[in-house]
Chain A
Amino acid sequence: MRAIRCDGCGGAVAARPGERLPACLFCGETALTEVEAAEHIEQPQLFAPFLVDEDAAQAAFAKFARSSWWYPSDLASSRLDLKRLLLPAWAFSGRIELHWTGLVSASNRAGKRPVAGHDTVDVDQVLVPASRSLRIAELHQLGAFDETALVDFEPEQSPAPFELSELSRSAATERGLGAMEDSQRQIVQQRNQLLSIRLSTILHQITGKPVLVPIWIGAYRYNDVVYRILVHGQTGRLVGRAPKSLWKILFVITVVIGVAAAIAMCLLGGGGLAALLNA
């Protein structure tokens, strides 16, 4: 399987034969190199189809662009070039046995006392990106994908360009187990009101499969900085960053300084008046 690797961010995207990718979907870079998929990496056999169309994805971006007063005004009116992409990920589920200790606040002299416990929970779906270009945090922010919607994937009939999986099963498992443990760490800590937590885990019946998940992706440059927007292809949830308007920041600073100066003058003026009266 052939793909195009971006010289900028390292993402390798494959398209249907005959289709050309003019620029990297992740960062907009145009320096692309043709590469071959590594043989020892399992490529996904299943994908989740798109439920969100381009208009809905654009609407999500328009809403995001207006969501903060700090964003530049021209962001809301600009139309982002959003593209479909099938993103490789490993989906893990299984049962996790948690053995934990921690400290809770107490009314003794130290102000805290130790507690311990154990629990077994089923973890439904933890996704680990198998792409070089996407960070694990971005995928987590996008939220879960509906696994029941998975259908067979044929590269020749792919509805969108797809990124090659670059994570072997063993490497994915290692990351997946870490991600599972992290997801439980917070839950246990909150549920037991722990000031601190130490966790050891045993994993049972862990299954992992490589899948392709649908996203809308857009990268844009603003003052030479690349900003990336991702929209969940099933739920329409948006993850991304936007620049803050320099003019608006300067304006606020000026107003704040102006107000501060006015107050100071008022106080000083009052002081001057008082001094006059005293005299």
Chain B
Amino acid sequence: MDASQLAATCAFCDSPLELAAAEAEEPVDAVAPFQLTEAQALQRLRDHLGSQWLAPGYVRKLGRPGELKPVLVPFYVYDATARTDFSCQVGCYWYRTETYTTFENGKAVTRTRQVRETEYTPLSGTHGRTWTNHLVSASKGLPETEANQLEPFDVGAALPYDATLVAGLIAERPTVDHGEAEHTARQELAQREQQAIAGGHLPGDTYRNLQSSTRSQIDAVRLVMLPVWIAAFKLPGKGEALRMLVNGQTGEVVGAVPTSWAKVGVLIAVGLFALLGFFLCFSGCGGLVALVEG
């Protein structure tokens, strides 16, 4: 088994990784303690799985004591200043009065109505913002998309690194290097900047052709371990395990819960029958009406 894999499966669970090994490579700045107990995390997980109506029945009943492992997952935490140049066409609405002809009581009459038009004007401008505590997963075992779903974490709750903070927990070593993580951070910041511009920085009523280029200056980066409860379930007849993650601070549950195709099939069938019934009823009524009128 790959030593970098997230500790959920088995290798790490049975033999907790000592942080001493990780320390030699990359000093950990801070550790956020678990705020959810195992029982609380398990309850969140069971509630989440139980509410997945389209998941196979055995998946909805998963989650027993001892299956969740407390893992401290490494994250790079960035403070950055981002400046973005953007250009777009800003649209401002105006109203045109239009004359039209209509028929009222069999006579042609002329009426007026207000029609909304948009005046587009090109705009070039800038946006700037300081982003604090932007998280990028430092673990190859926890892909960035899954990490983003687990967020937010309260990085402020992290305490300066101390060996007692990781005692008895599985502490994963960072497997994503600085350069790779910074590249991800810059990409994500550029996305956030564009969202911030589109979502509230542009004047006028609407816009089109928004283009932006962001320059991010990394002001600080820290390596912080954040608490995640992890469970890996072997599913019958499947090669890969179902991995479920529970945010150790907020209780947010993340995982790719499989869909039961049998259930989906039944649902589609029921939907089709309902539609068919509806259709029959209507045409039946129509037939009745036709009969009566006849």
List A residues at the B interface (Cβ < 8 Å).
97, 99, 101-103, 108-118, 196, 198, 200-203
Contact B119 A110 (CB under 8 A): yes
| B261 contacts chain A at the CB level, 8 A cutoff | no
Q: What is the interface of chain B, defined by CB distance below 8 A to chain A?
A: 81, 83, 90, 92-94, 117-119, 121, 123-130, 196, 200-204
Contact A198 B203 (CB under 8 A): yes
Residue of A nearest to B207 (CB): A114
CB pair B92 A112 closer than 8 Å: yes
Please, how many angstroms separate the alpha-carbon atoms of A261 and B128 in the complex?
63
Contact for A110 among B94, B200, B202, CB less than 8 A: B94
| Contact (A202, B123) CB under 8 Å given A102-B203, A103-B203, A110-B92 | no
Taking CB atoms, residues of chain B closer than 8 Å to A110 are 92-94, 118-119
A165 to chain B, nearest CB (A): 21
Known: A109-B119, A118-B126. 5 other contacts (CB 8 A): A99-B128, A110-B118, A110-B119, A200-B201, A202-B129
Q: A110 to B90: give the CA distance in the assembly, Å.
A: 12
Q: Shortest beta-carbon distance, A223 to chain B, in Å?
A: 45
User: Which residues of B have CB within 8 Å of A116?
Assistant: 123-126
CA distance A15 to B277 in the complex (A): 82
Which residue of A has the minimal Cβ distance to B156?
A170
A179–B38 alpha-carbon span in the complex (Å): 43
Give bound CA distance, A113 to B203, whole Å: 9
A208 to chain B, nearest CB (A): 16
Q: Is the CB of B129 within 8 A of A103?
A: no
Q: Is the CB of B128 within 8 A of A97?
A: yes
Q: Which residues of A contact B196 (CB under 8 A)?
A: 200
A residues less than 8 Å from B81 (CB atoms): 202
Residue ID in chain B nearest A109 by CB atoms: B94
How far is the CB of A60 from the nearest CB of chain B, in Å?
Answer: 41
CA distance A114 to B121 in the complex (A): 7
A258 to B129 Cα, complex, angstroms: 62
B208, chain A: closest CB distance, angstroms:
13
User: Contact between B127 and A200 (Cβ–Cβ < 8 Å)?
Assistant: yes
B117 in contact with A109 (CB, 8 Å): yes
- 14 pairs, CB–CB < 8 Å, chain A vs chain B: A99-B127, A99-B128, A101-B202, A103-B204, A108-B119, A110-B94, A114-B121, A114-B202, A115-B123, A116-B123, A117-B125, A200-B129, A200-B196, A202-B128
User: Are B126 and A99 in contact, CB atoms less than 8 angstroms apart?
Assistant: yes
Residue ID in chain B nearest A112 by CB atoms: B92
How many whole Å from B167's CB to the nearest CB in chain A?
A: 27
The listed residue with most A CB atoms (<10 A of its CB), out of B83, B94, B203, is B203
Report A-chain residues with C-beta under 8 Å of the C-beta of B117: 109
Q: In angstroms, how far is the closest chain A Cβ from the Cβ of B217?
A: 10
**CA separation between A103 and B93, bound complex, in Å?**
12
Which of A101, A118, A196 touches B123 (beta carbons < 8 Å)?
A101
Complex contact A114–B204 (CB within 8 A):
yes
Contacts of B128 in A (CB 8 A): 97, 99, 118, 200-202
- Which residues does chain A contribute within 8 Å of B129, judged by CB atoms? 200-202
Q: Are A198 and B200 in contact (CB under 8 A)?
A: yes
The CA of A109 and the CA of B196, in the complex, are separated in Å by 29
Task: Tell me the nearest residue of chain B to A102, going by C-beta.
Answer: B203
Q: What are the 3 A-B residue pairs with the smallest beta carbon separation, nearest first?
A: A116-B125, A110-B92, A110-B119
| C-alpha spacing A97/B130, complex, angstroms | 11
B191 to chain A, nearest CB (A): 16
Contacts of A114 in B (CB 8 A): 90, 92, 121, 123, 202-204
> A115 to chain B: which residues have CB within 8 Å?
123, 203
| Cα separation A118 to B129 with both chains bound (whole Å) | 13
For A102, what are the chain B residues with a Cβ–Cβ distance below 8 Å?
203
Chain A: minimal CB distance from B281 (Å) = 51
How far does the Cβ of A112 sit from chain B's closest Cβ, in whole Å? 6
Is there an interface contact between A101 and B92, defined as CB atoms closer than 8 Å?
no
In the assembled complex, the Cα of A203 lies from the Cα of B132 at a distance in Å of 12
